[in-house]
Structure formats: C-alpha cells, structure tokens
Structure 1
C-alpha cells in the first residue's frame, strides 16, 4: 500500500500495490501493521456496504458527534464515486476545508478519513457499491450532518445530485449545526 497525504491532516489517500500474473491481480486492502508503520494507525471494528443504483446519488455529509467520532476507510468495489471529507475540527488549521478524490473499482484507491471529519460522496456511475471499514461499532443516536452544498465549505462537486435523501438535503448550514 502507498499512503499519500492530502491538504487536510487526518485524511489520507491509500493506493494499492497490485501483484499481477496470468490469473489476474491480488492486493491487500488493509493491514493494521502497515497502516501504523506509515503513521496512520487504523483498526476496523465494523465493515459496511452502501449500494447505489443511480449515477448522481449523493450521500452525506455525515459525521458522528463527540465522543462517538469515527475514522473510516472508504473504498469502491463496483462503480465510481467522487469522495469528499470536510474538516470540522475547530482547532485545526484546515477547519472547514475539504478534500476530494475519485474512488473506483478500477483504480482501487481508498480514502482514510480521520475523526472530526464530515464525509460524503456522489456516484459517478450507476450500480456503485461503496465499502466502509470503520474503527468503532455504530451506536445509534449520534449521527449528524452538514449540507452537501453549504457555502461555508464550497465543495466543488462534479455535478448536482439527482438522488439525495430528505435528511441529507435538509441539513442546516454549518454555522447553524449543533
């Protein structure tokens, strides 16, 4: 695995080292020791899958309220997304800044998103499956969000959503969020 910093401390791009032969290819998706050695300790406690039927489906921007923050490793196993993390840590030098990258089944790239970040994505293809590895067990009642097009962040999405939940579309601006 290759780890590349983004402009936000705590958000890291993880690229695969594919070993290829006549059968195809093989790659490790996660190794706690390798992540720790690269300075990004991450041990998943839960794995989840998001299935998305249509291109233009937007999910986010989600986070878990303190003290239930979570880190996650996000990877696409079918299709393609534009994946975004927003820094919501008030004491961070990159507070309110965002970073985004394309994740696809073809590029094998993952995004490691640290605690204190809001996360969301928009699908770029029909039938896109997104795999989440999360560092804590989900506890209902702590989920929060900020609106995908909140001007406080100025996220440059590759398009407007065609499918979005009422909850995600109705989040308040960040200044109004609890």
Structure 2
C-alpha cells in the first residue's frame, strides 16, 4: 500500500498493490499494522458503513463533533465518486481548505479522512457503492455539516450544480462561518 499525504495534514490517499492475473485480481484492502504505520497514528475502526447512490447524488458535507468526532477510511466498491474532505480544525494552517480525490471501483484508491474534517462525495458514474470505516460510533446529537456550495470553501465539484440530487437535510446545512465547531 502506498500512502500519499495530501496538502491537508493527516489526510492520506491510499493506493493499493493490486495483483492481477487471468483469474482477476487480489489486493489487501486493509491491514491495521500497515495502516497505522502509513498514517502515523493509532486508529481503531469500530463501524463499517455502505451506501448505494445514483449519478448526481451528493452526500455531505458531514462530520461529528467533540468526543464523537470520527475518522473515516473511505473507498468505492463499484462506480466512481469525487470524494471531498474539508479541514475544520481551528488550529490548522489549512482550516477551511478542501481536498478532492477521485475514487472508483477500478482504481481501488482509498482516502483517509481524520477527525476534525467534514466529508462528502458526489457520484459521477451511473451508480456507485460507497464503503467506509469509522473509528467512532455515530451520535445524532453530535452531527455537524456544511452546505456543499459555500463560496468560502469554493469546492469544484466538476459537475453541473443544477443536476445535483441532494437530500432536504443537506440542502439546509450551514455555511462554514455558522457551522458547529468540530471541538
């Protein structure tokens, strides 16, 4: 596994070693020891989640606050998404900046989003199955979120905004300046 740290300290793109032959392929998608060495911290995942979405679905930008903050290791099993993390750590040099990564069932790339970040994704293919590991359990009272089109963040979704499919809940998320503090 190749670990590439992004401009957002603590966020890593993980490129797996894929072994292909006439039967198909094999890859190690997760190894706790390799992962912890690669990201330079001890992370213990406690929950796996999976979603299925159609083209144009934008989920996010979501996060958990305080003691319920979550780190996530995300990947796409089928399809293609633009995955986005936004730095919400107030002490960070990259506060309010984002990183976008193309994840697909074909490239098998993963993205590690540590605690203190908002996270979301946009489905670019006809359908996508999205899978993620979390290091903390979900807590409804600790939910936070940012509106996808906040001009302060200036996220380039690389998709016509008038074609997005967004839940009612995500359409009314606050702008960065009014969002819940991550801690």
Indicate the TM-score class for this superposition, using the shorter chain for normalisation: over 0.9
Residue 40 of structure 1, CA deviation: 4.3
- Tell me how large the CA RMSD over aligned residues is: 1.1
Q: Which residue of 1 aligns with 2:164?
A: 162
Provide the secondary structure at the position in 2 that maps to 1:164: coil
Aligned length: 177
Aligned partners of 2:90 and 2:84: how far apart in 1? Answer: 18
Structure with the higher helix share, 1 or 2: 2
Give the TM-score taking structure 1 as reference length: 0.95
- TM superposition outliers: structure 1 runs of 4+ over 4 Å: none
Aligned partners of 1:15 and 1:168: how far apart in 2? Answer: 30
**Worse overlay, 63-72 or 131-140:** 131-140
1:1-178 to structure 2, matched below 5 A, reads 1-38=1-38, 39-52=40-53, 54-159=54-159, 160=161, 161-178=163-180
Q: Which string of whole-angstrom CA distances, capped at 9 and with x for unpartnered residues, describes residues 74-116 of structure 1?
A: 1000100000000000100000000001000000001000000
Q: Which string of whole-angstrom CA distances, capped at 9 and with x for unpartnered residues, describes residues 42-100 of structure 1?
A: 33211000110x21100000000112110000100010000000000010000000000
Residue 162 of structure 1, CA deviation: 2.2
Structure 2: any 5+ residue segments left out of the alignment?
none
Aligned partners of 2:108 and 2:23: how far apart in 1? Answer: 18
Structure 1: any 5+ residue segments left out of the alignment?
none
